Amino acid sequence: MSQLFSPYQLGGLSLANRIVIAPMCQYSAQDGCATDWHTIHLGHLALSGAGLLIIEATAVEPDGRISPFDVGLWSDETEAALGKALHSARAWSDMPIAIQLAHAGRKASVAQPWRGGGQLGLDEGGWNVHAPSSVGFETYPRPPRALTTDDIARLCEAFADSARRSVRLGLAAIELHGAHGYLMHQFLSPLSNRREDAYGGSLENRMRFPLEVYDAVRSVVPAGYPVGFRISGTDWVEGGWDMEQSLAFAKVIKARGADFIHVSSGGLSAAQAIPLGPSYQVPMARAIKQETGIATIAVGLITEPEQAEAIVGTGEADLIGLARGILYNPRWPWHAAAQLGASIKAPNQYLRSQPRQYSKLFA
């Protein structure tokens, strides 16, 4: 039996298989509100047969958006717009849908990738950004303002408010974005956090804000509701965040009750030197799983069914995250199930597409 297509229990959430659609920014919202593009995007991914779909990085306040076109969940209007897209997807799919709550910090206020992705000027629709310290992202000309302790308390409540809205929308789980150089990662890494108060300096202090966010979110969701973190296992820069610190963080959040950790890497510094290759981030997920026992999602150049099967089957990770690969091939889970001799759920309207040689593919 394929391990990739075996069921998995994530906190109080039952997943049909181990395939997770990782959050992928679409830069297609209007004033934080999901649009028809999100209805199409989430709808077709919800028909893919994956075990879980996680909505893209969703800002908890307007200044926390990466670009002016990011999805948000900070108001009744943004909640209603996302609810509309979810309603359409759920009309045709029972796939669990989760959300990633995020704040971009010093990496906010940039153009869409297909328009260069650089920091927008204040006369171009951009805004002044904030961060743990007044240390800017290397390629952006406008430096951030350092957050005050009052700002930090306000942001914790903003995450909690977005979590409440997530629960009201019926979302199945919450992933907190502490990776890719965004705000919580900025607090964690000594490269971006130069504070001299209780939120900077030692590892314990640098972990304080992400842990306070976690506690604020956990306090407003129901018992058994899955909450986890996405982290960058390493900055890939000497003197930055690394696996030793990631292991320490994973132990602390597991002790606090976190249900999973989604292991990525990089994104904080333009000086990063990433050794790209198939499964290049999987060893980090394996180390965290072995050291802490927390449920792990592995992601990063996992493209082949046998590759994914081996990762899960050998216990390197509990779940597999697919991102760009499932945009390129939205039926990747179908093809993987066919190749691995498993069965998968497909919508009634597509049952006639089952190839004759895979007569037992569609459950």
Supply the residues annotated as catalytic.
182
DSSP state of 17: S
Q: Distance (Å, rounded) from C-alpha 174 to C-alpha 216? A: 12
- How are the residues of the chain apportioned to helix, strand and coil, as percentages rounded to the nearest 5? 35, 15, 45
Q: Cβ–Cβ contacts within 10 Å for residue 310, how many?
A: 16
Radius of gyration of the chain (CA): 20
Distance of alpha carbon 232 from the chain centroid: 11
Contact 192, 132 (CB under 8 A): yes
Which candidate, 300, 311, 315, places its Cα nearest to that of 336? 311
Contact 230, 262 (CB under 8 A): yes
Q: Cβ–Cβ contacts within 10 Å for residue 222, how many?
A: 7
User: Amino acid identity of 209?
Assistant: F
Distance of alpha carbon 12 from the chain centroid: 19
Report the 3 state secondary structure along 184-198.
HHHHHCCCCCCCCCC
DSSP state of 293: -
CA 89 vs CA 85, 95, 142, 234, 326: distances in Å? 6, 9, 39, 35, 17
- With residue 131 as reference, give the H or E element that holds it: strand 130-131
